[in-house]
A and B are shown apart, each in its own frame.
Chain A
């Protein structure tokens, strides 16, 4: 701040222009660097957190009460592996069936038929309003409610097929049933939100081209709704995987039940819980991979340029010398008219 503000440059503005407008006077004094604020607290807070994390890790790994050899051993125990497969199987079946059911319930809820709308509303209300644990136990006791299950025409004697409830509804079937019906209630709300998110103009445009309602749903509305539906459904899938552990109350031999059965014999409760936790983490981590790719697929056209996937990046790194594929069109939205 040694020099006074430079004298105004020769007035180059056109005659008649208001004073003060146009280019500001320039001075070599203004040719300065702009230095960002230093932030020492970032370093200090990082150091403090690291100390705590290191302390916790040390206390775990040096704890004489944890038998690490047992963890390694039971991680690949055939009973645990069986439990892992069963957990994955239950998750898969429950998610697929519940999603189909959810689409039906959402369609009912969105229909203009008041009976369908209220039944769908009641379904969601009942299954979302009671604890999953209670529902699981209830389905486990189905045999007490109905001794026999049959398929026929209601209010007539016509029966196509009949079976003993306790033979048909094993613990496993009851568990899958409970998880599926409960999940359908949650998923139907996600599907409904996805359908509502699509602009009404899309339907009009599709109809104006001669598309039927079903074709419009399949090719125009659903793909756009999927963009909204997929992220929460990924969360639901991960929740489902973890909720399978609740089936231990009706003795379905998924991984958590297997772990508790083993630990009740060898009394290594903590070790087996760690084993189960490690497997849950592995499974949930693997499940988030398809979600990433599905989100990309249905995100087409929304973000202007999708970043490359990890695999594409890897391939690029290896093949950097070869001429690559045709690049995606540039996004000169307005300029290149």
Chain B
């Protein structure tokens, strides 16, 4: 997992030893909001079956970067490749051109995302939240999708809450339903955008447990979080971002316990 940032050394695209090619490749991505440049030339690789934690102060661009990976945010330059497929764009000549919403929607099916504010659909029960996309988008038979949803709810410890509406659930329960909802599409990659930041402290543990279990099962995950303990215990790779650039990346024991850069040290000091 320490084969990081070796992207510029052009590797043969044909899959020579499937493990050698990372599942997610972020290459020289740039993005601005107006005059403000949020991402400056960010490159990153996430090997399949590993967990990458993005750390950094607010405004460092880590959440924006996450949004670029499933094209909820467009990019100004560079490339994002998931499982060999260019995300949100197609290559035409030298430049890349944005796809139609329909094509992008097709790509997003394989990338699950969990949000800080859960964003469950309030007019649907927990079960309906989970089955909506498999039935309506992927065309799964309703009975099969329901069985799978109940199985997922059981897995996140909410088997008894299938018929509850989001307003009847606590924050921690809502977030676990949101994880189950994303998993129902059988994604090959899961993105977590500060999944525990909106939770009461006593509810954080349940959500982190679910994520830890998911990581143990071999799910590829990119996690934006301030939970240093989670990063140290679960991450294969920790990336520290600040000011729209990757300041430092490496194994958690290196980045968290022996940070090389002063900026990393200052940040870790402040969240500890």
Contacts and interface: CB of A to CB of B under 8 A. Distances in A.
Interface of A: 199, 201-202, 204-213, 215, 219-220, 223-224, 227, 298, 300-302, 304, 328-329, 331, 333-334, 336-337
A198 to B, nearest CB: 10
Pairs A-B, 3 closest by C-beta atoms = A210-B109, A301-B165, A205-B119
Contacts of B170: 333-334, 337
B93 to A, nearest CB: 27
Interface in B153-188: 157, 160-161, 163-170, 172-173, 178, 181-182, 185
Interface of B: 70, 72, 101-102, 105-109, 111-113, 115, 117, 119-125, 132-133, 136-138, 157, 160-161, 163-170, 172-173, 178, 181-182, 185, 191, 203, 206
A208 B132 CA distance: 13
A215 B137 contact: yes
A225 to B, nearest CB: 10
Given A205-B119, A208-B70, 11 more contacts: A201-B119, A204-B72, A205-B120, A207-B108, A208-B191, A210-B137, A219-B136, A301-B125, A333-B168, A333-B170, A337-B206
Contacts of A329: 161, 163-164, 168
21 contacts: A201-B119, A202-B121, A204-B72, A205-B121, A209-B108, A209-B109, A209-B182, A210-B105, A210-B106, A210-B133, A210-B137, A210-B185, A211-B105, A211-B137, A219-B136, A220-B121, A224-B121, A301-B166, A333-B170, A337-B172, A337-B203
Contacts, number: 100
B72 A207 contact: yes
Main secondary structure of the interface of B (DSSP, over half): mixed
A304 B169 CA distance: 10
Contacts of B121: 202, 205-206, 220, 224
Contacts of B123: 223-224, 227, 298, 300-302
B105 A224 contact: no
Nearest to A300: B123
A54 B147 CA distance: 64
Contacts of A201: 115, 117, 119
Contacts of A304: 165, 167-168
Contacts of A213: 101
B136 A302 contact: no
Contacts of A300: 123, 165
A304 B170 CA distance: 13
Nearest to B121: A220
Nearest to B160: A336
A311 B79 CA distance: 60
B152 to A, nearest CB: 14
Contacts of B132: 209, 219
Contacts of A202: 119, 121
A133 B20 CA distance: 75
B250 to A, nearest CB: 29
A208 B113 contact: yes
A204 B119 contact: yes
Nearest to A301: B165
